[in-house]
């Protein structure tokens, strides 16, 4: 295939895949299977690589990068102000009176659901996404374009051709309940503290520096406000309908209202119907429809005069606290759980509520038998918000956080600066042992086929395994003696264990379950230190000199390797053939040409991507750092650098080098 034909084929594939993305994520009407989509995506990825096509708005860029990126500060062309809030119909009537007093005529209102997520402003030029910026302080926000490109409901290229040459559209980045619940289920299995709500999780995800992780979080978005010159219509409602045609995900649940009674009908409907939605909402936004009237109404210092947000009351019910139980996770974290008299709330029957930690219990002054108030609202995990002390009997016993582990009896510890209590008996506490095994065999760690939570429970209860090394001593006969374990299943497990011997070192290190050593930290340690012996022999001070390794992580690593039983465990795993060093192929090409240099990368480059440049720095012994400080050696500067960075390097006297300068540095 010649280059001209290839480029045409690439363009056709990009268009086809974006159509499938639109059908699946915006219309919720997929027309091909996930497998067929993945095969076409792989074909496109291969062709783009072969013919040197690097289109930032290609569907292949939606998977993100596994390397960190900085967030540039961007000044909003139009300020992102917050809305005034209303909590009653009377306050809505007062808003209506203020509007009519200024404009002197009746007007239409648009009612929209107030999505509970993270605000975003998207800029498009010539039909392509060029920038995505968070609200920030309203005047300027963080450029999170790389992360937003991974959100499949946000179009990278628009449909049709009747859109303005340049415009902004604003909306809310959300994490659907289904995704949030699955994420919490993973955390619960890992013994980690649970996330409180989708809103905070979405906001935190959007600000992650690893866009490949953002891509796995399956964020969604609803857009609700079009800004710019030459918009299609004067009506806000009409503009959003047009934006829907361009490929934007606009909520179906909005209404053009002729009077206040229609506004109130919309509010009353969604005060109850909202619990059926797949994403969090916390109110209704009422906007004057006409753009001309919006301009006449203008703004106060804090908010537009032409819009107001009616906030739903969080559904709160009272029930009785029957008991408090305690769960021990893989890391030893002990989480208190309130066991309640079952009560319906926000569309589900609630029997339990998290109490998070000892401080929450103390602040609530809980007693067994108390009548407590429970809320769900935007919080997916029910929580106790208060106690009706008037209903308390004098004989009710106060809840005291336990002093010993409920599973093994070991005295609990609480580290300075942390809210959670921990059981320190990590190698003798049953739920921690089983939790570590479940983590070890999990997909992102050793990915051992055929072993799950139920199998580990059986193996542990039958005393066939006491730690992760024992898994490699299992025989087919032992496995086949387990309940519901046939020969085929047993062989599958043995094959999975054998295959895990080839898993690379960074995943083996992650699989060991060292506290605070996640996938990214494990990769950082392995790339810098190369062998398990080198990691084992590092002091706290030496570890904290490594980029992204803070004091808490360093202390945890040093503590883990200080325990003789862990050194014995590693020796056993070594004898089983697991990888505890970087292989020769991975080490090839490494130099110390940039040793001791801290280099900040900023801007866009012609010959290499930022990810490639970062890899070059690391392969040559340098350190890629995220922010400029007095310890920065160079600013590797491309095009379109933020003015704040240039100002800072000038002030600190830090040398700026171009891409060509950097490549010459490596040559020398």
* Catalytic residue numbers, as ranges: 114
Nearest to 410 by CA among 354, 332, 335, 338: 332
Pairing of strands 598-602, 623-624: parallel
User: Is the Cβ–Cβ distance between 322 and 339 less than 8 Å?
Assistant: yes
List all residues 6 or more positions away from 462 whose beta carbon is below 8 Å from its beta carbon.
481, 482
* C-alpha span between 46 and 107 (Å, rounded): 55
Q: CA distances (Å), 584 to each of 313, 519, 525, 590, in order?
A: 61, 22, 17, 10
Q: Where are the beta strands (DSSP E) in 551-633?
A: 598-602, 623-624
318 strand-pairing partners: 373
User: Is the Cβ–Cβ distance between 188 and 274 less than 8 Å?
Assistant: no
Nearest to 201 by CA among 218, 189, 225: 218
Q: CA distances (Å), 157 to each of 31, 160, 240, in order?
A: 20, 10, 17
* C-alpha span between 509 and 6 (Å, rounded): 42
Q: Count Cβ atoms within 10 A of the Cβ of residue 544 and give its class: 0-12 exposed, 13-18 middle, 19 or more buried.
A: middle
* C-alpha span between 667 and 593 (Å, rounded): 9
User: Is the Cβ–Cβ distance between 224 and 174 less than 8 Å?
Assistant: no
Number of CB atoms found within 10 A of residue 222's CB: 21
In three-state form (DSSP H/G/I as H, E/B as E, the rest C), the secondary structure along 178-197 is HHHHHHHHHHHHHCCCCCCC
* C-alpha span between 248 and 222 (Å, rounded): 8
Nearest to 420 by CA among 432, 402, 435: 402
* C-alpha span between 288 and 95 (Å, rounded): 11
* C-alpha span between 665 and 28 (Å, rounded): 51
* C-alpha span between 318 and 329 (Å, rounded): 29
* C-alpha span between 389 and 660 (Å, rounded): 71
SS3 359: helix
Q: CA distances (Å), 629 to each of 375, 632, 648, 654, in order?
A: 45, 5, 8, 9
User: Is the Cβ–Cβ distance between 111 and 285 less than 8 Å?
Assistant: yes
Nearest to 642 by CA among 598, 599, 601: 601
Pairing of strands 307-311, 128-134: unpaired
User: Is the Cβ–Cβ distance between 366 and 387 less than 8 Å?
Assistant: yes
């Amino acid at each position: 295939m010649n280059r001209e034909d290839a480029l045409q084929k690439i363009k056709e594939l990009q268009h086809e895949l974006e159509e499938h993305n639109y059908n699946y994520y915006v219309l919720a009407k997929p027309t091909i299977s996930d497998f067929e989509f993945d095969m076409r995506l792989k074909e496109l990825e291969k062709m783009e690589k072969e013919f040197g096509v690097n289109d930032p708005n290609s569907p292949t860029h939606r998977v993100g990068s596994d390397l960190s990126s900085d967030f540039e500060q961007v000044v909003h062309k139009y300020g992102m102000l917050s809305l005034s809030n209303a909590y009653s119909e009377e306050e809505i009537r007062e808003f209506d009176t203020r509007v009519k007093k200024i404009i002197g005529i009746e007007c239409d209102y648009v009612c929209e659901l107030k999505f509970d997520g993270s605000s975003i402003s998207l800029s498009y030029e010539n039909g392509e996404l060029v920038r995505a910026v968070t609200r920030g302080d309203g005047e300027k926000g963080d450029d999170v374009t790389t992360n937003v490109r991974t959100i499949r409901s946000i179009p990278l290229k628009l449909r049709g051709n009747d859109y303005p040459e340049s415009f902004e559209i604003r909306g809310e980045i959300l994490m659907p309940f289904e995704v949030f619940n699955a994420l919490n289920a993973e955390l619960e299995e890992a013994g980690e503290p649970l996330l409180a709500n989708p809103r905070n999780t979405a906001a935190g995800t959007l600000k992650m520096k690893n866009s490949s992780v953002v891509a796995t979080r399956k964020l969604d978005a609803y857009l609700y406000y079009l800004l710019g010159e030459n918009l299609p219509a004067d009506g806000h409602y009409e503009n959003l309908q047009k934006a829907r045609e361009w490929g934007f995900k606009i909520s179906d649940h909005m209404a053009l209202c002729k009077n206040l009674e229609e506004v109130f009908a919309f509010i009353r409907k969604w005060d109850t119907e909202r619990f059926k939605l797949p994403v969090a909402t916390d109110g209704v936004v009422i906007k004057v429809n006409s753009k001309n009237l919006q301009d006449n109404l203008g703004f106060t210092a804090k908010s537009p005069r032409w819009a107001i947000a009616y906030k739903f009351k969080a559904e709160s019910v009272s029930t009785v606290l029957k008991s408090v139980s305690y769960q021990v996770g893989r890391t030893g974290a002990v989480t208190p759980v309130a066991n309640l008299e079952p009560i319906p709330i926000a569309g589900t029957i609630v029997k339990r509520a998290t109490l998070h930690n000892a401080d929450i219990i103390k602040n609530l002054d809980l007693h067994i038998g108390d009548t407590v108030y429970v809320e769900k609202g935007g919080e997916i995990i029910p929580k106790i918000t208060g106690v009706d002390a008037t209903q308390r009997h004098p004989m009710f016993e106060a809840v005291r956080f336990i002093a010993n582990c409920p599973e093994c009896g070991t005295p609990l510890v609480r580290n300075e600066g942390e809210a959670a209590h921990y059981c320190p008996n990590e190698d003798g506490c049953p739920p921690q042992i089983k939790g570590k095994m479940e983590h070890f065999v999990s997909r992102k760690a050793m990915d051992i086929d055929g072993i799950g939570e139920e199998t580990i429970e059986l193996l542990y209860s039958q005393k066939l395994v006491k730690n992760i090394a024992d898994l490699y001593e299992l025989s087919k006969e032992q496995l086949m003696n387990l309940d519901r374990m046939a020969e085929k299943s047993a062989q599958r497990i043995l094959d999975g264990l054998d295959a895990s011997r080839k898993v690379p070192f960074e995943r083996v290190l992650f699989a060991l379950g060292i506290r605070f050593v996640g996938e990214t930290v494990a990769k950082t340690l392995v790339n810098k230190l190369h062998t398990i012996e080198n990691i084992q022999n590092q002091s706290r001070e030496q570890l904290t000199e490594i980029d992204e390794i803070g004091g808490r992580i360093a202390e945890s690593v040093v503590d883990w390797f200080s325990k003789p039983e862990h050194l014995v465990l590693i020796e056993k795993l070594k004898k089983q053939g697991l990888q505890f060093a970087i292989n020769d192929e991975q080490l090839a090409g490494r130099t110390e040409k940039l040793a001791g240099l801290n280099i900040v990368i900023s801007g866009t480059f012609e010959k290499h991507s930022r990810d490639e440049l970062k890899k070059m720095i690391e392969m040559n012994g340098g350190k890629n750092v995220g922010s400029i400080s007095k310890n920065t050696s160079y600013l590797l500067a491309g095009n379109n650098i933020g003015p704040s960075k240039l100002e800072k390097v000038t002030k600190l006297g830090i040398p700026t080098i171009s891409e060509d300068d950097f490549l010459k540095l490596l040559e020398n």
